[in-house]
Amino acid sequence: MKRLMMLSGAVALVLTLGACATSSPDVISRDDAQHMAQVQEGVVLSVRNVVIDGSQSGIGAVVGGVTGAVAGYSGSGVQREGQVLGMLAGVAGAAAGNAIERMATREEAVEVLVQVKNGERRAIVQAKGGETLLPGDSVVIVTTGSKVRVTRAPK
């Protein structure tokens, strides 16, 4: 029971940390606020749904590994057996924690193909936001540093 509680706590931590990450075009980071941005006008040619693969920072593997090792070690009354079980459970926990982190940080996104006014075409991948873009929509491409986002042009 104690092992199950520890494992569920680790899973909850990884999922909570993963839920904190966002790349929504509706959220501007503090570093990008009050910076000059380049703006280009264009028209949406196409929009398709894509998935941004989850991150593997190592936090999930560490949490899963430690949780697994502690749970495995405490699972036996014999010291040598507990050490072996702890090591095996630690490796399994690290693999599971890594997979959980990767799945928790995956994001639904869109790839927007834009025809810019100068004739160039740009493909921009961004997280789904509150705005739905459709082919034919007039848009602006906002570039701040190395970050780019597409938004509907003001009327």
pLDDT band at 24 (very low <50, low <70, confident <90, very high): low
**Domain assignment of residue 8, given as a range:** 1-22+54-105
Of the candidates 138, 132, 152, 129, the one whose C-alpha atom is nearest the C-alpha of residue 45 is 138
| Pair 139, 114: CB distance under 8 Å | yes
Report how many domains make up the chain: 2
Kindly report, residue by residue over 76-123, the tens digit of the pLDDT: 666 777 777 777 777 777 777 777 777 777 778 899 999 999 999 999
Confidence check: pLDDT of 29 > 90: no
* pLDDT > 90: percent of the chain: 25
| Pair 55, 98: CB distance under 8 Å | no
User: Cα–Cα distances in Å, from 123 out to 27, 120, 131, 142, 145?
Assistant: 20, 10, 17, 13, 17
Q: Are residues 151 and 118 part of one domain?
A: yes
Q: Are residues 154 and 120 part of one domain?
A: yes
Q: Are residues 73 and 6 part of one domain?
A: yes
Q: Are residues 75 and 18 part of one domain?
A: yes
> For residues 87 and 18, what is the distance between their CA atoms, to the nearest angstrom?
26
Confidence check: pLDDT of 124 > 70: yes
> For residues 51 and 109, what is the distance between their CA atoms, to the nearest angstrom?
6
- CATH number, residue 118: 2.40.50
Q: Are residues 71 and 43 part of one domain?
A: no
Instruction: Examine residue 154 and state whether it is found in any structural domain, yes or no.
Output: yes
